[in-house]
Structure 1
Amino acid sequence: MTEFHRNVRRSDGLAFYCRQCAAQRSETSRRKRGIKERRQSPVPVPDGSKWCPSCEEIKPLAEFTRTKAKRDGYHSYCLPCHTAKGVASKVRHHGSTREYHLRHRYGIGQAEFDELLAEQGGVCAICGAADPQHVDHDHRTGWVRGILCFNCNGGLGQFRDDPVLLANAITYLKGTTWRRALIHPGVYRISSSTRGRPPSRSS
Structure 2
Amino acid sequence: MKEQQGREVRPTLSVSDGHRRCPACGETKVLENFPRNRSGRSGHGRYCKPCHNEKGKESKLRLHGGFREYHLRRRYGIGEKEVQELLAEQGGVCAVCGDPDPEHVDHDHRTGWVRGILCFNCNGGLGQFRDSPTRLARAITYLRGTTWQRVLIHPGVYQMCSPTRGRPPSQRS
The Cα of 1:152 is off from its aligned counterpart by: 1.2
| Partner residue, 2:63 | 93
Using the size of structure 2 for normalisation, the TM-score is 0.77
Letter in 1 for 2:118: L
Asked if 2 retains the 8 angstrom alpha-carbon contact of 1:106 and 1:144, the reply is: yes
2:25 partner SS: coil
> CA RMSD for the aligned pairs?
2.9
Aligned in 2, Cα 1:73/1:155: closer, same or farther, shift over 3 Å?
A: same
State the distance in 2 between where 1:199 and 1:147 align. 43
Unaligned runs of 5+ in 1: 1-19, 29-36, 180-190
The Cα of 1:77 is off from its aligned counterpart by: 0.9
2:47 partner SS: strand
Asked if 2 retains the 8 angstrom alpha-carbon contact of 1:40 and 1:53, the reply is: no
| Partner residue, 2:81 | 111
Percent identity of equivalent pairs: 61
1:150 equivalent in alignment to 2:131: no
State the distance in 2 between where 1:148 and 1:155 align. 10
| Partner residue, 2:152 | none
1:104 partner SS: helix
Aligned in 2, Cα 1:110/1:51: closer, same or farther, shift over 3 Å?
A: same
| Partner residue, 2:135 | 165
| Partner residue, 1:24 | 5
The Cα of 1:59 is off from its aligned counterpart by: 2.2
Deviations 1:155-185 (A, max 9, x none): 1112111100111111112223469xxxxxx
Unaligned runs of 5+ in 2: 150-159
Letter in 2 for 1:197: P
2:46 to 76, 96, 111: 76
Using the size of structure 1 for normalisation, the TM-score is 0.67
Work out which structure has the larger RCO, using CA pairs closer than 8 Å and 6 or more positions apart in sequence: 2
Equivalent pairs, count:
159
